[in-house]
Amino acid sequence: MSAANCPEISWADFEKVLVVAGTVIRVEPFPEARKPAWKVWVDFGPYGEKKTSAQIAALYQADDLLGRQVVGVINFPEKQIGPFRSQFLLTGFPTDEGVVLTAVERPVPNGTRLA
């Protein structure tokens, strides 16, 4: 979808999306997933610990993710993914090689909101 095809939104619309930084504290394999994925737990500071299934295994090993700050949308409804309940959306950019995670340029406190 091009920018020309996307409707403009208001600042109030943007403020409804809770996009925050957090630190990966746990990663486990997700062999039941249809596409290669990890189960990822993130500490979002005052928002607590949340988990998700992320199709990022093509570019990231578990050790690459532990301790890394990531960006997540934490106010979507929970979603059942096979036997796993996903509590947030881990953000990234799809490429031909796999999903590249959204990066935080320098550390910020967990739970810091995107502005």
pLDDT given at position 71? 98
Residue 110 placed within a domain: no
The pLDDT of residue 96? 97
CATH of the domain at 56: 2.40.50.140
Q: Let me know if residue 108 belongs to a domain.
A: no
pLDDT of residue 1: 62
In the structure encoding, which two tokens stand for residue 25, read together? 């504290």
In a domain, 6, yes or no: no
In a domain, 46, yes or no: yes
Domain that residue 84 falls in? 16-101
* Mean of pLDDT values over 101-113: 97
10 belongs to a structural domain? no
Is 38 within 8 Å of 29 (Cβ atoms)?
A: yes
In a domain? residue 47: yes
How does DSSP assign 55-97, residue by residue?
--TTT--HHHHTT-EEEEE--SPPEEETTEEE-SEEPEEE-SS
For residue 93, what are the contacts with CB-CB under 8 A and spacing of at least 6?
Answer: 99, 100, 102
Number of compact structural domains in the chain: 1
Across 89-100, average pLDDT:
97
Position 45, amino acid: G
Residue 51 lies in a domain: yes
**pLDDT at residue 49 greater than cutoff 90:** yes
Residue 87, token pair as written in the block? 């509590």
Q: Is 45 left (phi over 0), alpha (psi -120 to 50) or beta?
A: left
The answer as to whether 68 is a domain residue is yes
Q: Per-residue pLDDT for 3 more than 80?
A: no
Q: For residue range 59-83, list pLDDT tens digits in order.
A: 999 999 999 999 999 999 999 998 9
Greater confidence (3 vs 100) lies with 100
For the chain, what's the residue count? Answer: 115
pLDDT, tens digit, for every residue of 13-47?
999 999 999 999 999 999 998 888 999 999 999 99
